[in-house]
């Protein structure tokens, strides 16, 4: 399938890029080496997976780059190397990275790394970055991303996260809102997701719905029914809907696109 150019001005996907189900492939997350035989950790492995996921129908990517030791990192050099490799392999796809507080363990260090992303060449700079609203300095991280010219994906895992985003008045400045539910029984996950979506309403930026573990496929089905952007990949789940182990990220994307 042909892909149109990325529209970085507003973070939206042009009509030529839009599938009935829009899927962001989350390639690795915080998963440790050995979690899955095809878990991509190096720039080269991420690039190969990105190309395969693009061919499978993904319209966006989410990465957790690693340093030379294999640890998660926000260091500009490592972020730039991973993003540049992925962009070269899948040039039409938006690329998002994480800003999770656990990655640096230090709020000031995290914001300093993000400020450093502003100096990266365009081809090596992330289009977007996710920010967990449960983290204390989320507003400062959002401000740092805006200053670096990087779009914000606001991650909401609870109703309290949604309330905080709304109370801070930050919703209009986000490129996308991620309703992301932890591993829990499907009925509980669906109930929580519906409550968060109801609190957000339909106005504002694009909404994405995704789960983890037991909640991943039930929320993918619900998100598809609602016409929301989905997310799937080894960060969230290693099994296909039938319970078998997925061969790789592209197989998860293909399964999510299946009727």
Give the span between the Cα atoms of 180 and 163, in whole angstroms.
15
Average pLDDT over the chain reads 92
Whether the predicted pLDDT of 18 surpasses 50: no
Q: Is there a domain that residue 66 lies in?
A: yes
In a domain, 12, yes or no: no
* 1 occurs within a structural domain: no
Q: What is the pLDDT of residue 20?
A: 62
Note down the domain range covering 51. 18-257
Q: For residue 188, tell me if it sits in a domain.
A: yes
pLDDT at position 203, please?
85
CATH, residue 52: 3.20.20.70
What is the tens place of the pLDDT at every residue in 32-72? 999 999 999 999 999 999 999 999 999 999 999 999 999 99
> What mean pLDDT do residues 122-143 have?
97
Q: Where are the alpha helices (DSSP H) in 90-240?
A: 101-104, 107-117, 138-147, 159-167, 186-200, 216-226
Report field, pTM of the whole predicted structure over 0.85: yes
- pLDDT (tens digit, 9 = 90+) per residue, 206-215? 999 999 999 9
- How many domains does the chain contain in total? 1
- pLDDT tier at 21 (50, 70, 90 boundaries)? confident
Residue 149 · residue 117 · CB < 8 Å: no
Greatest extent of the chain over all pairs of C-alpha atoms, in Å: 46
Confirm whether 151 is domain-assigned.
Answer: yes
Q: Is residue 100 part of a domain?
A: yes
> Is 36 domain-assigned?
yes
Cα–Cα nearest to 7, from 151, 177, 116, 202: 151
Contact 180, 155 (CB under 8 A): yes
6: in domain: no
């Amino acid at each position: 399938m042909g892909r149109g150019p990325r529209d970085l001005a507003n973070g939206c996907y042009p009509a030529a890029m839009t599938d009935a189900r829009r899927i962001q492939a989350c390639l690795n997350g915080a998963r440790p080496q050995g979690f899955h035989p095809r878990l991509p950790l190096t720039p080269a492995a991420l690039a190969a997976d990105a190309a395969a996921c693009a061919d499978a129908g993904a319209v966006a990517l989410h990465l957790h780059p690693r340093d030379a030791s294999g640890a998660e990192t926000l260091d500009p050099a490592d972020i730039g190397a991973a993003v540049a490799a992925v962009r070269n392999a899948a040039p039409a796809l938006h690329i998002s990275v994480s800003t999770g507080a656990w990655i640096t363990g230090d709020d000031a260090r995290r914001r300093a790394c993000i400020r450093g992303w502003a100096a990266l060449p365009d081809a090596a700079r992330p289009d977007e970055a996710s920010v967990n609203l449960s983290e204390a300095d989320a507003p400062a991280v959002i401000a740092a991303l805006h200053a670096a010219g990087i779009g914000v994906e606001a991650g909401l895992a609870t109703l309290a996260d949604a309330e905080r985003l709304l109370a801070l008045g930050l919703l209009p400045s986000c490129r996308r809102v991620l309703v992301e539910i932890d591993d829990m029984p499907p009925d509980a996950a669906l109930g929580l997701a519906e409550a968060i979506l109801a609190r957000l309403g339909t106005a504002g930026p694009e909404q994405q719905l995704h789960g983890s573990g037991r909640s991943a496929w039930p929320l993918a089905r619900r998100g598809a029914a609602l016409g929301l952007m989905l997310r799937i990949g080894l960060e969230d789940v290693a099994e296909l809907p039938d319970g078998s182990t997925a061969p790789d990220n592209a197989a998860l994307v293909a399964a999510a696109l299946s009727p």
